[in-house]
Amino acid sequence: MTDTPLKKVNLQEKFSQISDHWNPRVVGEWSGQQVKLAKFKGQFDWHFHENEDEVFLVVRGVMRMGLRDPDEREVLVEEGEFLIVPKGVHHCPAAHTEETWVMMLEPATTLNTGNLQNERTRNTLEHL
Protein backbone atom coordinates (compact mmCIF):
# COMPACT_ATOMS: atom_id res chain seq x y z
CA MET A 1 0.00 0.00 0.00
CA THR A 2 1.03 3.61 -0.30
CA ASP A 3 0.12 6.73 1.62
CA THR A 4 1.15 9.26 -0.99
CA PRO A 5 0.19 9.23 -4.66
CA LEU A 6 2.77 7.44 -6.83
CA LYS A 7 4.96 9.52 -9.10
CA LYS A 8 6.43 8.52 -12.42
CA VAL A 9 10.10 9.20 -13.11
CA ASN A 10 11.44 10.76 -16.30
CA LEU A 11 14.97 9.53 -17.07
CA GLN A 12 16.02 12.60 -19.10
CA GLU A 13 14.86 14.93 -16.37
CA LYS A 14 16.82 13.03 -13.73
CA PHE A 15 19.96 12.81 -15.87
CA SER A 16 19.77 16.58 -16.44
CA GLN A 17 20.35 17.00 -12.69
CA ILE A 18 23.61 15.03 -12.85
CA SER A 19 26.76 16.88 -13.85
CA ASP A 20 29.49 14.69 -12.39
CA HIS A 21 30.69 11.20 -13.27
CA TRP A 22 30.79 7.79 -11.54
CA ASN A 23 28.43 9.04 -8.84
CA PRO A 24 25.23 6.96 -8.94
CA ARG A 25 21.96 8.57 -7.83
CA VAL A 26 18.99 6.56 -6.59
CA VAL A 27 15.80 7.37 -8.52
CA GLY A 28 13.60 4.44 -7.51
CA GLU A 29 13.30 1.51 -5.13
CA TRP A 30 11.33 -1.71 -5.27
CA SER A 31 11.50 -5.11 -3.54
CA GLY A 32 14.98 -4.51 -2.07
CA GLN A 33 16.33 -3.26 -5.39
CA GLN A 34 17.22 0.21 -6.58
CA VAL A 35 17.16 2.06 -9.88
CA LYS A 36 20.37 4.10 -10.04
CA LEU A 37 21.48 6.57 -12.70
CA ALA A 38 25.05 7.58 -13.41
CA LYS A 39 27.04 9.34 -16.10
CA PHE A 40 30.24 7.55 -17.12
CA LYS A 41 33.31 9.28 -18.51
CA GLY A 42 36.65 7.58 -19.10
CA GLN A 43 37.25 4.30 -17.33
CA PHE A 44 36.26 3.08 -13.86
CA ASP A 45 38.19 0.55 -11.75
CA TRP A 46 38.18 -3.23 -12.07
CA HIS A 47 36.07 -4.66 -9.25
CA PHE A 48 33.50 -7.31 -8.42
CA HIS A 49 30.52 -7.69 -6.10
CA GLU A 50 30.55 -10.63 -3.74
CA ASN A 51 26.77 -10.92 -3.38
CA GLU A 52 25.04 -8.76 -5.96
CA ASP A 53 24.21 -9.11 -9.64
CA GLU A 54 24.02 -5.84 -11.57
CA VAL A 55 22.04 -4.77 -14.64
CA PHE A 56 23.57 -2.02 -16.80
CA LEU A 57 21.11 -0.47 -19.28
CA VAL A 58 22.53 2.16 -21.62
CA VAL A 59 20.29 5.21 -22.03
CA ARG A 60 22.68 7.39 -24.08
CA GLY A 61 26.05 6.78 -25.71
CA VAL A 62 27.98 3.52 -25.71
CA MET A 63 29.32 1.70 -22.66
CA ARG A 64 32.45 -0.42 -22.89
CA MET A 65 32.47 -3.12 -20.23
CA GLY A 66 35.66 -4.93 -19.39
CA LEU A 67 34.88 -8.49 -18.25
CA ARG A 68 36.76 -11.50 -16.97
CA ASP A 69 34.16 -14.17 -17.70
CA PRO A 70 36.61 -15.89 -17.41
CA ASP A 71 38.84 -14.61 -20.21
CA GLU A 72 39.47 -10.89 -20.19
CA ARG A 73 37.57 -9.13 -22.96
CA GLU A 74 35.47 -6.05 -23.69
CA VAL A 75 31.82 -5.75 -24.66
CA LEU A 76 30.32 -2.64 -26.25
CA VAL A 77 26.78 -1.98 -25.03
CA GLU A 78 24.79 0.57 -27.02
CA GLU A 79 21.67 2.65 -26.40
CA GLY A 80 18.68 0.40 -25.72
CA GLU A 81 20.86 -2.55 -24.73
CA PHE A 82 21.59 -4.03 -21.32
CA LEU A 83 24.18 -6.34 -19.81
CA ILE A 84 23.79 -8.31 -16.59
CA VAL A 85 27.00 -8.84 -14.63
CA PRO A 86 26.54 -11.66 -12.09
CA LYS A 87 28.10 -11.56 -8.64
CA GLY A 88 31.71 -12.62 -8.53
CA VAL A 89 32.49 -11.53 -12.10
CA HIS A 90 35.30 -8.98 -12.32
CA HIS A 91 34.25 -6.05 -14.47
CA CYS A 92 35.45 -2.61 -15.45
CA PRO A 93 32.82 -0.12 -16.72
CA ALA A 94 33.91 2.59 -19.12
CA ALA A 95 32.42 5.21 -21.41
CA HIS A 96 33.20 4.26 -25.00
CA THR A 97 31.73 7.53 -26.24
CA GLU A 98 32.67 10.86 -24.63
CA GLU A 99 29.96 10.45 -22.02
CA THR A 100 27.64 7.52 -21.41
CA TRP A 101 24.38 7.58 -19.45
CA VAL A 102 23.62 4.34 -17.66
CA MET A 103 20.66 3.06 -15.65
CA MET A 104 21.68 0.42 -13.12
CA LEU A 105 19.31 -2.06 -11.50
CA GLU A 106 20.75 -3.80 -8.47
CA PRO A 107 20.21 -4.73 -4.83
CA ALA A 108 20.18 -1.69 -2.53
CA THR A 109 23.23 -3.17 -0.78
CA THR A 110 25.46 -2.84 -3.87
CA LEU A 111 28.54 -0.64 -3.38
CA ASN A 112 29.68 1.09 -6.58
CA THR A 113 33.31 -0.04 -6.24
CA GLY A 114 32.43 -3.54 -5.00
CA ASN A 115 35.43 -5.11 -3.28
CA LEU A 116 37.44 -1.86 -3.46
CA GLN A 117 37.49 1.17 -1.22
CA ASN A 118 39.03 4.13 -2.99
CA GLU A 119 38.40 7.79 -3.81
CA ARG A 120 35.56 6.79 -6.13
CA THR A 121 33.70 4.78 -3.50
CA ARG A 122 30.26 6.21 -2.66
CA ASN A 123 29.11 4.73 0.64
CA THR A 124 25.91 6.77 0.65
CA LEU A 125 24.05 7.76 -2.47
CA GLU A 126 22.00 10.86 -3.12
CA HIS A 127 18.34 10.33 -4.00
CA LEU A 128 16.99 12.41 -6.88
List contacts with its own copies (CB under 8 A).
1-2, 5-12, 28-31, 33, 35, 52-55, 59, 67, 69-71, 73, 75, 77-78, 80-89, 105-107
Opening angle at CA 58, ends 15 and 52, nearest 5: 100
- Least distance in Å: CB of 65 to its own copies? 8
Which one, 9 or 42, has the nearer CB to its own copies?
A: 9
Which one, 29 or 99, has the nearer CB to its own copies?
A: 29
**CB-CB contact of 125 with 61 (8 Å):** no
Which one, 5 or 98, has the nearer CB to its own copies?
A: 5
**Residue 15: closest CA among 27, 32, 1:** 27
Measured distance CA(39)–CA(8) in Å, rounded: 21
Q: If you ran DSSP here, which 8-state letter would residue 108 be given?
A: T
**CB-CB contact of 38 with 24 (8 Å):** yes
- Least distance in Å: CB of 82 to its own copies? 5
- Least distance in Å: CB of 76 to its own copies? 8
Measured distance CA(85)–CA(117) in Å, rounded: 20
Which one, 59 or 116, has the nearer CB to its own copies?
A: 59
- Least distance in Å: CB of 37 to its own copies? 11
